[in-house]
Structure 1
Amino acid sequence: MQQTMRWFGPQDSTTLLDIKQAGATGIVTALHQIPVGEIWNIEDIKERQQIIKEAGLEWTVVESLPVHEEIKRATGNYLQYIENYKISIKNLSDCGIKIITYNFMPILDWVRTNHNFINEDGSKALLYNQDAFTYFDVYLLKRPNAEHDYSETEKKNALKFGNQLSEEEKALLFKNVLLGLPGSKVNFTAQKILSLLDDYADIDNVKLRENLIYFLTQVAPVASEYGAKLAIHPDDPPFSVLGLPRIVSTEDDLKAIFEAVPFSLNGLCYCTGSLGANPDNNLERIIDDYGDRIHFLHLRNTFRESETVFRESEHLKGDTKIEIIVEKLLLLMNKTKVSLPMRPDHGFLHAVDETKESYPGYSLTGRLKGLAELRGLEMGIAYKLNQSLR
């Protein structure tokens, strides 16, 4: 596997030197300064590429080339935004960057209710608590008709959870849930999120999937022409939040997307954390069924404390048997002769990084630890496989 790390750009507190010294050779990044929907021009791409090259690294994967909300809703200026997307694919490909990650999650890229869950060793992790989220949705945000999305028991449990919070803790919960897009430290306001939710009032799973498939039928031929690969990131978490549709959460979702647009370049960012948070997903079977569609790897792990709570766990310890996943991926790469780029997704916040400003899950030491563990695991499994083939 190609070892990579995510870098949010020149403003990132984690430097390219930090990443190089961690042992990664590839950089996963995006031009976050360009407004969503606008064209990524060659000059901007090459400028970022040069910064990375001068640090002795290579920009190997785009994460993400964001999809405008009007494309997701198929409204407004969406046709022009699709044309812009095509040009950005071409420009990235012309610069030699061929793997493009994106997602089709409405409004929010990811959701957690606690960004600082304290582990036994004092490190901190991301956590999702459904009671906390329900309390936020019904009693803090007060989304219209939100109460109809939950059972009486769920609302009772949520209210019990919320009644134990101080005003400061309620404000922190509100901030955590509505954290802005990755690469941005801007939080959504209640008014803004409610306005955005109104835009999706008439869009269900069926309509959102139709819009995704239309988008892919338009951009996949361009990607094919220029040798690019598209890797959709699964929904995080892999179930509906705020009443929004979810269409990349299950194995059936993947099947529908890949069958509708049967280009092998129409592929997957195989995120073991997002897919693994849904216990009904069989991560091994996804590799077996869609190995030729996997273009990028996010390796992380989660642990379900209960039916309503899951949290990030150590990369090698969690509900997902990561050693089995890595072995299957190595066998896949041996078969396809393609070395897939991998990054250690998320990581704990360790004491050494407490005073450094970083995005939740993206402090240096936690990801460095994950990268080291995954590299060691890969080396051991590769040795075992080579021995068995002799």
Structure 2
Amino acid sequence: MKETWRWFGPNDMVSVQEIEQAGASGVVSALHHIDNGAVWTREEIAKRKAEIETRLDGTPSGLTWDVVESLPVSEDIKTQTGDWRAHLETYKTSLKNLAAAGIEVVCYNFMPVLDWSRTDLDWELADGATCMRFDLIDFAVFDLCILQRSGAKDDLPAAVQAQAKARFATLTETQKQALTQNVVQGLPGANQQLTLDDLRGYLARYNDMGAEQLKSHQYAFLAEVVPLAESLGMRLCCHPDDPPFPLLGLPRIMSTEQDYLELVQAVDSPANGITLCSGSLGARADNDLPGMMRRLGKHVHFVHLRNVHRDSSAVPTSFHEAAHLTGSTDMVALIAAIVEEEARRKDAGEKVCQIPMRPDHGHKIADDFKRPVQPGYPYIGRLRGLAEIRGVAAALTSA
């Protein structure tokens, strides 16, 4: 695996030099300041590339921009409404501009409205560290009692509704505001902050859309952009839903192995692939991550390694983000499957054998409490995760 590190740009509290010191050789980044649907110009791409390749003192960093995460797919494209055809053309232009800069891997997602969703961004663990948590009842509190979505009563089981109403009655106004803030974080690192009215407006666009229709829109998007990506020598890879089950009445279409199998079959091309995120997919007990890597490995262009601890085997369930090696997913078995796939590619003489990997999320520990960070992206916590993953990989590949 090629070790990479997510960097949100010059405003990130982690510096380029600190990424070097972590031992990563590649960077995962995006132009979060550009609105969804707008072109990523060659000038802006070159500027970010130079920022990655240069330390604050002006000397070369030795780092490379290996993966774009993400080039956003607009809501217009997902719903095939408004300016979606124009957005499709700007997406193609952005791909051409990225290819001209030598960037080959582009991660994207097709989650409606919200990216990852959590109810607590600083949930305290027994050792005093904090992590992100998704609590099913708290999310129901938001959906049923705060957002007051009209379809919530039909979507939520009676027992969940009863627990949500009882919990809501105990919350202070400050706690209600905090829960709302956590849920409507929007896209991580993005230049938008959703209000409740904004969220209601976005949700309304999906009122009559089911999973099959959203899938058809994704496949139509891929039919347009994948041939271009293949001609440019690029690889697109779709990130799974996070969490991998329906929320707020929205369809979810990238949650299971079957979803990914259908994805790669819909547009058969080496440029149409998978971002295997063990944390997102691991929130479902019926997702066998090592098995998915073995069966779908040739389509995997990018890997996020993190772990979650599920409160139960039910779908959906509450969960919190665990240490990288100690959650509900067998991380050693998953890394072994990744190493096996890389070896297969090498033996087959494939051009791209090494899969870029980044340690995803992490516990807030030690000096992480002394600096502001993007939710889920503390420096020391990710450094610990990377070291653990590196150790497992070294043990598996040593002669």
Which residue type is aligned with residue 347 of structure 1? G
1:5 is matched with which residue? 5
Give the unaligned 5+ runs of structure 1: none
Residue 91 of structure 1 aligns with an amino acid whose one-letter code is: N
- Pick from 342, 349, 355: which aligns with 1:340? 355
Matches of 2:35 and 2:111, distance apart in 1: 17
1:125 equivalent among 123, 131, 135: 131
Equivalence for 1:286: 292
Q: Which runs of 5+ in 2 are unaligned?
A: 55-60, 347-352
In the aligned structure 1, how far is the partner of 2:164 from the partner of 2:320? 18
CA distance in 2, matches of 1:378, 1:138: 44
Decide which moves more: 165-174 or 122-131. Answer: 165-174
Shift in Å at residue 255 of structure 1?
A: 1.4
CA contact (8 A) 2:257 2:292 kept: yes
Deviation, 1:220, is 0.3
Tell me the equivalent position of 1:316.
Answer: 325
Q: Give SS of 2:35's match.
A: coil
Please give the per-residue CA displacement for 1:209-242, whole angstroms capped at 9, x wherever unaligned. 0000000000000000000000100000000110
> Which of 143, 147, 155 is the matching residue for 1:149?
155
Structure-2 separation of matches of 1:351 and 1:288 = 36
**Contact (CA 8 Å) 1:131, 1:158: kept in 2 or not?**
yes
Given candidates 381, 393, 396, the residue that maps to 1:366 is 381
| Alpha-carbon shift at residue 164 of structure 1 (Å) | 2.6
* 1:332-355 alpha-carbon deviations (Å, 9 max, x no partner): 101112111100000011141213
2:392 counterpart of 1:377: yes
Question: 1:35-87 deviations in whole A, cap 9, x for unaligned?
Answer: 11111111111111112112321100000000010000011111111111111
CA distance in 2, matches of 1:73, 1:184: 20
| 1:355 corresponding residue in structure 2 | 370
Tell whether the 8 Å contact from 2:137 to 2:163 is kept in structure 1 after alignment.
Answer: yes
Contact 2:151 2:249 in 1 (8 A): no
Quote the Cα distance in structure 1 between the aligned partners of 2:383 and 2:2: 15
In the TM superposition, what is the alpha-carbon distance from 1:181 to its structure 2 partner?
1.1
Percent of aligned pairs with the same amino acid = 41
Partner residue, 1:93: 99
1:200-211 alignment, distance < 5 Å: 200-211=206-217
**2:378 alignment partner AA:** S
Q: Corresponding residue for 1:103?
A: 109
In the alignment, the residues of structure 2 paired with residue 163 and residue 84 of structure 1 have an alpha-carbon distance, to the nearest angstrom, of 47
Contact 2:238 2:273 in 1 (8 A): yes
Mapped to 1, the partners of 2:279 and 2:13 lie a distance apart of: 24
Shift of 1:145: 2.5
1:271–1:300: 8 Å Cα contact kept in structure 2?
Answer: yes
Query: How many residues are treated as equivalent by the alignment?
Result: 384
Name the TM-score, length of structure 2 as normaliser. 0.94
1:179 and 1:185 in contact (8 A); partners too: no
The separation in 2 between residues aligned to 1:181 and 1:271, in whole angstroms, is 16
Which of 284, 294, 299 is equivalent to 2:305? 299
Paired AA for residue 136 in structure 1: F
Q: Which residue of 1 aligns with 2:74?
A: 68
CA distance in 2, matches of 1:186, 1:104: 18
SS at match of 1:101: strand
Tell whether the 8 Å contact from 2:309 to 2:319 is kept in structure 1 after alignment: yes
**1:186 CA displacement:** 4.5
Going from structure 1 to structure 2, the CA distance change for 1:117 and 1:375 (only over 3 Å counts) comes to same
Runs of 4+ more than 4 Å apart: none
Contact 2:33 2:190 in 1 (8 A): no
Work out whether residues 175 and 187 of structure 1, in 8 Å CA contact, stay in contact via their aligned partners in 2: no
For 1:111 and 1:240, locate their aligned partners in 2 and report how far apart those are by CA, in whole Å: 11
Give the C-alpha shift of residue 185 in structure 1.
6.8
Q: Specify the code of the residue in structure 1 equivalent to 2:278.
A: T
State whether residues 99 and 231 of structure 1, in contact with CA within 8 Å, keep that contact through their aligned partners in structure 2.
yes
Partner of residue 173, structure 1: 179
Q: Give the corresponding residue for 2:231.
A: 225
**For the Cα contact (< 8 Å) 1:111–1:237, is it kept in 2?**
yes
Distance apart, 1:379 and its partner CA: 0.4
Residue number in structure 2 paired with 1:17: 17
Match of 1:326 among 313, 335, 340: 335
What SS does structure 1 have at the residue aligned with 2:370? coil
Query: C-alpha distance in 2, partners of 1:185/1:62?
Result: 17
- Where 2:213 maps in the other structure, the secondary structure is helix
Equivalent residue, structure 2, for 1:257: 263
